[in-house]
Amino acid sequence: MPAAGPVPRSKHVREKHRRRRAEILSAARRAFREHGYHATTLEHIARRLDVRKTALYHYFPDKESILYACHRESLTQVHRHVEEARTRHTAAGDRLAHVIREHVRVMTDTLEGSTLAFEVTALAPAHQAEVIASRDRYERALRELIEQGIAEGEFRPLDPKVPVFVILGAINWIARWYRPEGSLHAPELGAQFADHLIGGLARR
Amino acid sequence: MPAAGPVPRSKHVREKHRRRRAEILSAARRAFREHGYHATTLEHIARRLDVRKTALYHYFPDKESILYACHRESLTQVHRHVEEARTRHTAAGDRLAHVIREHVRVMTDTLEGSTLAFEVTALAPAHQAEVIASRDRYERALRELIEQGIAEGEFRPLDPKVPVFVILGAINWIARWYRPEGSLHAPELGAQFADHLIGGLARR
């Protein structure tokens, strides 16, 4: 990621910088959700934070770098959940359930229902390549969990390719219907997704 | 739908008109898939048919009316599959399997993997309202099939709302990864979707 603005000095300043950056990303995701990425301006984002547009330049040089930071943040989270699943659970079904539940939470809580997953073509080519490579790595991790479940005899024998598309499609689609002010929320929502999507792989 | 161009006279002329119209819609979907709806021009569509742009005006007044016709066509098909499922099958599981299999086929064969499902906001307000109402009707039909399956004891008791989102998300996401030249196709693909998505609702 390109360096943007001054490098923070003390621990206190660093913490303040980190918090402000997170606030900007949150405001940006809400703006993207409301107007769509393309129609969103830095002005929209600044207005939500009650600051002037120039105040954002200390953190991000442009709108694309904000989108990129949003992508990086959610991808970092989903990869961390794969690691968590590996250390916390032994059975493939439990690991996959953990990953699905937490990915649903990323969609509802981190992304707050923004359609970020749909905006990969708006990224600069180098960022786009990085995001796609990171997604590919995540898809491979899901395929491996399904293969493990088949090897353990919990899942029926199948090509894991299509089930991974089914799982990711169901989760990414959350951005199309989720409303933070609605009645469906993590963790119940994640548990329902995991039950449905893992139950469908089980031996009958 | 607004009348576009001359009303065809004889049966032969009507049939030719119908065929030409279908060719335009097919070329348009491929163009939308390649360039995205917004970046596609009537010029792109005409070039695929080796005609001049003005030749399209006999069939469609503008790009939006083509998008609307594409939406109507796929929605007409999915509603017909719900009816077919009701006449051909008795058990809710079999009915839902039929609907899922055929909806997957609409995504791969009729829409040829175009991201049409994502472009509802590009429709004129009246068309958008009609398409959304038609989708809502389809969602209700899916919910009713799940409720029927619960009543019959085939599915476990659950709120059908989330499973319908899971099913539609998985199917709509096909537009994001499907490649007509790839190795995954209907009807095998539809069968895999139905197994996964219905198996996940079954009583354990």
Residue of B nearest to A168 (CA): B170
Distance from CA of B136 to the nearest CA of A (A): 12
Give the mutation candidate from B166, B188, B203 for the A interface (greatest A CB count, under 10 A).
Answer: B166
Q: Which pLDDT band holds residue B6 (cuts at 50, 70, 90)?
A: low
What is chain A's pLDDT, residue by residue, as a tens digit (204 residues)?
Answer: 455 555 657 899 999 999 999 999 999 998 988 888 888 999 999 999 999 999 999 999 999 999 999 999 999 999 999 999 999 999 999 999 999 999 999 999 888 777 776 778 889 999 999 999 999 999 999 999 999 999 999 999 999 999 999 999 999 999 889 988 899 999 999 999 999 999 999 997
**Predicted local distance difference test score (pLDDT) of residue B115:** 73
**Predicted local distance difference test score (pLDDT) of residue A110:** 83
Q: Give the whole-angstrom CA distance, residue A29 versus residue A11.
A: 27
**Predicted local distance difference test score (pLDDT) of residue B4:** 55
Contact B198 A200 (CB under 8 A): yes
Quick one: average pLDDT of B48-70?
Answer: 94
The radius of gyration of chain A from alpha carbons, rounded to an integer in Å, stands at 19
Pick the CATH number of A63-199 from 3.40.50.300, 3.40.630.30, 1.10.357.10, 3.40.190.10: 1.10.357.10
**Predicted local distance difference test score (pLDDT) of residue A115:** 73
Contact A161 B177 (CB under 8 A): no
B135-154 pLDDT, tens digit each: 999 999 999 999 999 999 99
Contact A204 B199 (CB under 8 A): yes
Question: Is B164 a residue whose pLDDT tops 70?
Answer: yes
Nearest partner of A196 among B194, B202, B138, B99, judged by Cα: B202
Q: Which pLDDT band holds residue B3 (cuts at 50, 70, 90)?
A: low
The CA–CA distances, whole Å, from B99 to A137, B78, B81, B85 equal 32, 7, 6, 7
Which of A102 and B204 is assigned the larger pLDDT? A102
Q: Flag the least confident range among A28-42, A121-135, B106-120, B164-178.
A: B106-120
**B202 - beta bridge partners?**
B155
N-to-C CA span, chain B? 48
Q: Give the whole-angstrom CA distance, residue B44 versus residue B36.
A: 11
Residue of B nearest to A188 (CA): B162
**Predicted local distance difference test score (pLDDT) of residue B87:** 98
Contacting residues of B for A177, CB less than 8 Å apart = 165
Q: Give the whole-angstrom CA distance, residue B158 versus residue B150.
A: 8
Residue of B nearest to A167 (CA): B170
Note if the bond before B8 is cis, omega within 30 degrees. Answer: no
Q: Give the whole-angstrom CA distance, residue B101 versus residue B193.
A: 7
Query: Which CATH code for domain B64-199?
Result: 1.10.357.10
Q: Which pLDDT band holds residue B119 (cuts at 50, 70, 90)?
A: confident
Q: Give the whole-angstrom CA distance, residue B136 versus residue A126.
A: 40
**Predicted local distance difference test score (pLDDT) of residue A27:** 94
The CA–CA distances, whole Å, from A200 to A113, A189, B144, B155 equal 25, 17, 20, 12
Question: Is B184 a residue whose pLDDT tops 70?
Answer: yes
Contacting residues of A for B191, CB less than 8 Å apart = none
CB atoms closer than 10 angstroms to residue A135? 16
Nearest partner of A196 among A178, A169, A177, judged by Cα: A169
